Amino acid sequence: MSRLVVVSNRVAPIDEGKQQAGGLAVAMAEAMQAAGGLWLGWSGEVAETPDPEPRVATSGRLTYATLDLSQQDLDEYYNGFANSTLWPLFHYRLGLTSFSRRTYDGYRRVNARFADALLPLLRPDDRIWVHDYHLIPLGEELRRRGAGQRMGFFLHTPFPAPELLVALPRHREIVRSLCAYDVVGFQTDHDVRAFANYTQIEGGGHAEPIGPEGCRIAAFGSTVLVRSFPISIDTMALSSLAEANANSETTERLVDSLVGRRLIIGVDRLDYSKGIPQRFEAFQQLLEDHPEYRGQVSFLQIAPPTRSDVLEYQQIRRALESLAGYVNGRLAEFDWVPIRYLNNGFGRKTLAGFYRAANVGFVTPLRDGMNLVAKEYVACQDPVDPGVLVLSRFAGAARELKAPLIVNPFDIEGTAEALHTALSMPVEERRDRHADLMAVLTRNDIDAWRQAFVDALTGPPVPA
């Protein structure tokens, strides 16, 4: 069987005791441990003169190859084009999107460096799977260097509508790079449609539908298979972890601290795409519209800071500090604080126990590729007495999961009403909704997701 080669900006830590690096790295670690193979990415380190050769280490069936970045690389590629241009643009935040030729050149330069580092490690029958917006041009760079292997790309974020994408000065180059892959995967049918629309409008392309989830697109001189592959979680493993941690010491400390109050939980990287300010406002609205909840419900928001060199992330952090302080200052009582706002992250076991203890999972991004927290919250519930998921219609997960309470996070009053519905929902309805959600999550778990993509990647070359 041919080897799977994965390339992503972040690589899951080799040392299992270390804190995980985020949704993509966790999901891929779970998928890759089953399959084995080679995984290339950024080491997370900055070096004065980075070694062009990757450091190689092996753990079980997986070989890791990691590269350091220079400070200039980090500024231009990661903080610059990836997280100050593509990230806000792909999340529909044109007002936060900045563009400069300098950061774009840095982005291309780092992609070329990744290609130079990967090329000598490749075997002729490898299948290469590139992940996320940091590495869109990698496939094209590898092709330029003569790599003929099957190559696929999966975008973990949303893909924006063409009207937005054209605001990016180099939009054609970005989409042309995507067309260098054999397979391009997106989270949802919306993203597939946006990509197909762009290639037709801007690239003179032609799309031929293949099944309900995808199409074959001919554009920019290539033919590419484009499909949705909604990413998932290790549903059964997480469910067991939550059951095992239902009464762990940390979970009990949380439950004891509530002294019989109910709990709403939110867990997100501290990112402006996650809609956390709107969430605080909706909770405040709930307490205003339904004063009976005052002193009876606590909202725990866990939000570890991320990308803190980028100005917009510093701004959202300050805004949330001020909003949490405002709400608590207005509504707290001497023995109850409405919002428990934490900037530290927790390990998977602890989070699994916290999710299980929470009556409501509050997941309201303004725009999100998928949102694995939504799926994790569901998997961690006790099927006999499950909590309720309140989910934004703008999370990719809402295209797949039909049984949560779906909200528009821009509608603060509507979201507050959904919190009330969740907190007052009879147990029979909670069980029915939870069973529906679990049926989807056991059918499409992380293994099914990986297998579906790898099968598409292994398929016959797309005829030109």
Residues with a known catalytic role: 156, 368
Binding mask 121-140 for ligand F6P (x = CB under 6 A): -----------x--------
- Of 13 and 22, the one with the shorter C-beta distance to ligand F6P is 22
70, 306, 328, 408: residue in contact with ligand F6P (rule CB under 6 A):
306
- Of 8 and 177, the one with the shorter C-beta distance to ligand F6P is 8
DSSP output for 371-388: -HHHHHHHHTS-TTS--E
- 230 lies in the binding site for ligand F6P (CB under 6 A): no
Token pair 């203890």 is found at 357
> From the CB of 211, what's the least distance to ligand F6P, in Å?
25
Binding mask 366-405 for ligand F6P (x = CB under 6 A): ---x------------------------------------
- Of 295 and 304, the one with the shorter C-beta distance to ligand F6P is 304
> From the CB of 91, what's the least distance to ligand F6P, in Å?
10
Q: Which of residues 22-51 bind ligand F6P (CB under 6 A)?
A: 22-24
Q: Which of residues 317-376 bind ligand F6P (CB under 6 A)?
A: 369
**Span from 19-27, 354-362, 431-439, 442-450 in contact with ligand F6P (CB under 6 A):** 19-27
157, 223, 245, 392: residue in contact with ligand F6P (rule CB under 6 A):
157
**Span from 21-29, 48-56, 331-339, 358-366 in contact with ligand F6P (CB under 6 A):** 21-29
> From the CB of 56, what's the least distance to ligand F6P, in Å?
22
> From the CB of 157, what's the least distance to ligand F6P, in Å?
5
- Of 21 and 164, the one with the shorter C-beta distance to ligand F6P is 21
- Of 82 and 422, the one with the shorter C-beta distance to ligand F6P is 82
> From the CB of 334, what's the least distance to ligand F6P, in Å?
38
- 156 lies in the binding site for ligand F6P (CB under 6 A): yes
Nearest alpha-carbon partner for 14 in 44, 67, 51, 58: 58
Residues in contact with ligand F6P by CB under 6 A are: 9-10, 22-24, 132, 156-157, 306-307, 369
